[in-house]
Amino acid sequence: MIEKIDLWFEERMGWRPIWKALALRNIPKVTWAYTLGSATLLVMVNQILTGILLTIYYVPSPQDAYNSVSFITNEITAGWLIRGLHHWGASAMVILAGLHMIRVVVHGAYKFPREVTWFTGLGLLAVTMAFGFTGYLLPWDQKAYWATTVGTRMLEVVPVIGPWLLRFARGGEELSAVTLTRFYGMHIWVLPALLMLLIGIHMFLVVRIGISAPPKASETEEEGPELEVEA
């Protein structure tokens, strides 16, 4: 059955070379620590799916934001679950991205020729935190309002451009309807576009260059593996 489906698509799309390029290639023997990146990616997919569902009922205005979130949580079938998945997924994504970065540093995987993978990874970590920060405001409850007040106030300490940064983030001197629509626009349009771009480069490079070998444990080993580009 699976062969038939495979053949049907192969004759129409020629997808076997893609599978071969992605999955039927040699890599160094890996450990469980190498799954942290893909786990982050999976949580990202969870965030996209649940996030899209949340936008169906969410209304980004100070009058309606809180009520719409309350409606999602209390009235809509499984709304509480969708929102719960999005809420806990956000923290999981920050933690997993952080653990993934620790793995990469410990394994020295940022070294030549993987610098661009490393830079895009740092960008992805920053985008993840920006996602968390902008999403935090959207329920428009006390916690959201004041956490964003504190968070944006941190921008003010930057010399020279600090006050401007603060007004740029808030869309004024104080948090208002402008802040909410601004954060919403960032959260569902600007940041996802950035995320797609960075993750596209990041994952292309992971496949194109090949993953790095885990460091050897043995102390007696004289020669380490030379860094090399996998064709």
Partner 1 sequence: MSTPRPDQENPEIIGGQRVLGVVPGKPPGGDRKVLDEQEPVMVWPHLLVRHGVAALVVIGIVLVLAIFFDAPLREIANPTLTPNPEKAPWYFAALQELLSMFHPLVAGVLVPGAIILGLAALPYMDRSTRIEPRFRKVAVATFTIFMVVWIILTIIGFAFRGPNWGWVWPWQEWYGEL
- How many angstroms separate the CA atoms of 29 and 214, rounded? 8
Signed CA dihedral, 21, 24, 28, 34: sign only: positive
Judged by CB under 8 A, does residue 86 bind partner 1? yes
Q: How far is CA 117 from the centre of its chain?
A: 14
Binders in 210-229 for partner 1, by CB under 8 A: 212-213, 215-216, 219, 224-227
Binders in 88-107 for partner 1, by CB under 8 A: 88-89, 91-92, 94, 96, 102, 105-107
Beta strands, E only, 142-191: none
Residue 76 · residue 53 · CB < 8 Å: no
Near partner 1 by CB under 8 A: residue from 59, 118, 190, 203: 118
Segment lying near partner 1 (by CB under 8 A), choices 6-14, 186-194, 197-205: 6-14
- How many angstroms separate the CA atoms of 137 and 150, rounded? 11
Binders in 121-180 for partner 1, by CB under 8 A: 122, 129, 132-133, 136, 139-147, 149-151, 154, 157-159, 174-175
Tell the smallest beta-carbon distance from residue 26 to partner 1 (Å): 4
Backbone angles phi, psi at 126, to 5 degrees: -65, -45
Backbone angles phi, psi at 205, to 5 degrees: -70, -35
Segment lying near partner 1 (by CB under 8 A), choices 113-121, 185-193, 197-205: 113-121
Nearer to partner 1, 138 or 188 (CB): 138
Residue 189: closest CA among 52, 36, 33: 52
Judged by CB under 8 A, does residue 59 bind partner 1? no
- How many angstroms separate the CA atoms of 138 and 96, rounded? 23
Total residues contacting partner 1 by CB under 8 A comes to: 85
Tell the smallest beta-carbon distance from residue 105 to partner 1 (Å): 5
Judged by CB under 8 A, does residue 115 bind partner 1? yes
